[in-house]
């Protein structure tokens, strides 16, 4: 059990200490704000710290105003989540001139209703069109495992804040891999739930067809605890499911008994650096998984995800591209502009293909409950790095860090990233992929790996 | 797909004009590069054949 005031403390440990009266929520927040002030010059994770709000809420908790399973737990959110009284930056300069949010985003409200305390908004790639964590307006978020390297993105600040120990829990968004890529590169547990499982109300959109929200944390228990607190139908998000909440925390103790685990072959077994496949092999061995399955047409799925993203994202930003092109991050501006010029027939074909791919991939889950795949094709690239070599081929970093995540979010499957710390090297993650609404299976596998010491996420 | 190499620079100039998207001279080369890159990444999708009966789901349910 960690000291609840230390950077090693998990959300579960903090909540337990606050609930039992061992520590005051105000002391937790004071320690958190001090850590943030000390770490920020190195990691650049935060764009907004809401110290006064956090201290006020902590005092209310100490006075007995709120109870809940996340009592006193500090958390922060990617700055595309609405925070009452602040403009929702979404990584941009342009949005700062827009209206201030009139209330918090739905998931912020849900976590605070469970007793958690928001401490701020986090850096991100502009408008979430990013896999690097770099940002021309606010500077790059820096990887706490090696500050000369990328966090991955676009939830880069979320990765940096949790891996540095500033906060035990952060929320991110994942359209093509933006929770899973930073989880892998920063060495964290991350959960991208089933599409529509968690409400996106009160968050700035990117690609409606693929936008998901979810947590990053340093323990599987914290992922499950926060995920359970955020579940539930929300009429403010038209794709939010009306299925009843399915608590996952009580199921972690079940271990992996009865789960059929397989390894994704074909597309997911090539095109990356050896460490990506070594990580999958290590996890497979620990789980006793030997069978390989094929997610058919994954390369086409990646292409289709790219096309839908480029065209939907460009359409969303077209008015701003016309009127304020100079205020965009140059690295996103020209990709958005290119997307605005692509043929509409590509988009429709991608959407039609999506149905075929979904049907065929769901058949794979008749034979397996959890499928293993690399999360990223490599460990964290250097900040500013434009090209990288994958499997001997020179490729752009920006477009290719999400090579293995895009075909999964394309059809909304739930995924947990299990991080492997590599002594003397940088961490890398493995995707634990389940069928829709079966988050509990992926979380149980992650919990097993954590218990075995295979996956871990200590603060840097 | 036609065998003839498409003139992406011309496509960018004309399509941008058609949709009223001004592209500053300093951005033009990168926009062209990104359209070329999109064409390359999209190729597996463009080459796949789909049955006429396959329609997109208006509300996507995973």
A chain contacts of residue B23, beta-carbon cutoff 8 Å: 325, 337
Taking the C-alpha atoms of residue A175 and residue B42, their distance in angstroms, rounded to an integer, is 18
Let me know: does A126 contact A136? Beta carbons within 8 Å: yes
Distance from CA of B62 to the nearest CA of A (A): 6
Q: Tell me the average pLDDT across A364-390.
A: 97
CATH number, domain at A206? Answer: 3.90.1300.10
The full set of domain ranges for chain B reads: 8-46
pLDDT for position A247: 98
pLDDT for position B3: 59
Backbone angles phi, psi at A245, to 5 degrees: -60, 150
| CB nearest A353 (choices: B16, B30, B45) | B45
**Percent of chain A scored above 70 by pLDDT?**
100
Q: Is A351 in contact with B56 (Cβ distance < 8 A)?
A: yes
Residue in chain B lying closest to A437 (CA): B62
Q: What is the ipTM of this complex?
A: 0.92
At residue A6 the predicted structure's pLDDT band, cuts being 50, 70 and 90, is very high
Burial A135-173 (b: 16+ CB within 10 A, else e): bbbbebbbbbbbbebbbbbbbbbbbbbbbbbbbbbbbbb
Q: Is A195 in contact with B62 (Cβ distance < 8 A)?
A: yes
Could you tell me if residue A334 is inside a domain? yes
Let me know: does A278 contact A250? Beta carbons within 8 Å: no
A154 is catalytic: yes
Structural domain span for residue A37: 11-304+330-451
Q: Is B21 in contact with A318 (Cβ distance < 8 A)?
A: yes
pLDDT for position B59: 63
What does DSSP assign to residue A210?
A: T
- DSSP codes joined into one string, A122-185: E--SGGG--SS---TTT---B-TT-TTBB--SSSHHHHHHHHTTS-SEEEEEESSSTTHHHHHH
What does DSSP assign to residue B5?
A: P
Does A229 or B60 have the greater pLDDT score?
A229
pLDDT for position A66: 81
SS3 A322: helix
Could you tell me if residue A196 is inside a domain? yes
Q: What is the pLDDT of residues A242-290, one digit of tens each?
A: 999 999 999 999 999 999 999 999 999 999 999 999 999 999 999 999 9
Could you tell me if residue A164 is inside a domain? yes
B chain contacts of residue A399, beta-carbon cutoff 8 Å: 37, 41
Let me know: does A199 contact A238? Beta carbons within 8 Å: no
Could you tell me if residue A427 is inside a domain? yes
Could you tell me if residue A315 is inside a domain? no
Could you tell me if residue A292 is inside a domain? yes
Could you tell me if residue A325 is inside a domain? no
Residue in chain A lying closest to B56 (CA): A352
Q: Tell me the average pLDDT across A57-77.
A: 96
Q: What is the pLDDT of residues A72-129, one digit of tens each?
A: 999 999 999 999 999 999 999 999 999 999 999 999 999 999 999 999 999 999 999 9
pLDDT for position A65: 87
The two three-digit tokens of residue A232, written as one number: 């539930």
Whether residue B1 has pLDDT greater than 60: no
DSSP H stretches of helix in A241-371: 274-287, 298-323, 330-340, 344-364
Q: Is B43 in contact with A303 (Cβ distance < 8 A)?
A: yes
Distance from CA of B9 to the nearest CA of A (A): 11
Distance from CA of A333 to the nearest CA of B (A): 9
Could you tell me if residue A313 is inside a domain? no
- Mean pLDDT rounded to a whole number for chain A: 97
């Amino acid at each position: 059990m960690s000291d609840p005031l230390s950077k090693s403390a998990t959300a579960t440990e903090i909540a337990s200490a606050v609930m039992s009266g061992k520590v005051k929520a105000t002391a937790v927040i004071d320690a958190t704000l001090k850590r943030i002030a000390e770490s920020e010059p190195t990691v650049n994770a935060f764009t907004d710290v809401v110290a006064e709000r956090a201290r006020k809420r902590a005092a209310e908790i100490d006075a007995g105003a709120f109870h809940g399973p996340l009592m006193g737990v500090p958390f922060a959110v990617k700055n595309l989540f609405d925070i009452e009284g602040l403009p929702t930056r979404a990584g941009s300069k342009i949005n700062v001139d827009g209206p201030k949010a009139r209330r918090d985003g739905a998931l912020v409200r849900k976590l605070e209703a469970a007793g958690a305390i928001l401490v701020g908004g986090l850096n991100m790639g502009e408008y979430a069109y990013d896999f690097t964590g770099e940002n021309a307006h606010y500077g790059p978020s820096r990887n706490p495992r090696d500050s000369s390297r990328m966090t991955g993105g676009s939830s880069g600040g979320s990765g940096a804040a949790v891996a540095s120990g500033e906060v035990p829990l952060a929320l991110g968004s994942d359209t093509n891999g933006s929770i899973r890529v930073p989880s892998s590169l920063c060495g964290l547990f991350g959960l991208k739930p089933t599409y529509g499982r968690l409400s996106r109300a009160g968050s700035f959109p990117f690609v409606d067809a693929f936008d998901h929200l979810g947590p990053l944390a340093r323990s599987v228990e914290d992922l499950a605890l926060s995920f359970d607190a955020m579940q539930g139908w929300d009429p403010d998000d038209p794709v939010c499911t009306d299925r009843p909440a399915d608590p996952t925390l009580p199921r972690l103790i079940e271990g992996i008994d009865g789960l059929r685990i397989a390894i994704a072959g074909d597309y997911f077994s090539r095109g990356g650096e050896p460490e990506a496949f070594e990580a999958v092999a290590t996890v497979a061995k620990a789980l006793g998984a030997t069978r390989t399955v094929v997610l058919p047409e994954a390369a086409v799925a990646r292409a289709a995800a790219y096309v839908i993203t480029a065209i939907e994202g460009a359409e969303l930003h077209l008015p701003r591209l016309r009127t304020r092109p100079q205020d965009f991050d140059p690295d996103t501006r020209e990709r958005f502009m290119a997307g605005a010029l692509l043929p509409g027939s590509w988009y429709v074909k991608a959407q039609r293909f999506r149905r075929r791919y979904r049907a065929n991939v769901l058949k794979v889950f008749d034979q397996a409950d959890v499928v293993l795949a690399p999360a990223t094709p490599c460990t964290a690239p250097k900040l500013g790095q434009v090209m990288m070599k994958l499997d001997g081929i020179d490729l752009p970093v920006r477009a290719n860090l999400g090579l293995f995540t895009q075909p999964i979010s394309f059809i909304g499957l739930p995924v947990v990233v299990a991080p492997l710390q590599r002594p003397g090297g940088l961490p890398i993650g493995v995707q634990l992929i389940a069928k829709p609404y079966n988050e509990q299976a992926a979380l149980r596998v992650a919990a097993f790996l954590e218990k075995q010491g295979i996956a871990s996420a200590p603060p840097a | 797909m036609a065998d003839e190499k498409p003139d992406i620079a011309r496509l960018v100039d004309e399509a941008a004009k058609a949709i009223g998207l001004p592209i500053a001279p300093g951005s033009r080369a990168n926009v062209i590069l990104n359209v070329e890159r999109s064409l390359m990444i999209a190729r597996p999708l463009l080459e796949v054949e789909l049955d006429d009966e396959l329609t997109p789901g208006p509300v996507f349910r995973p």
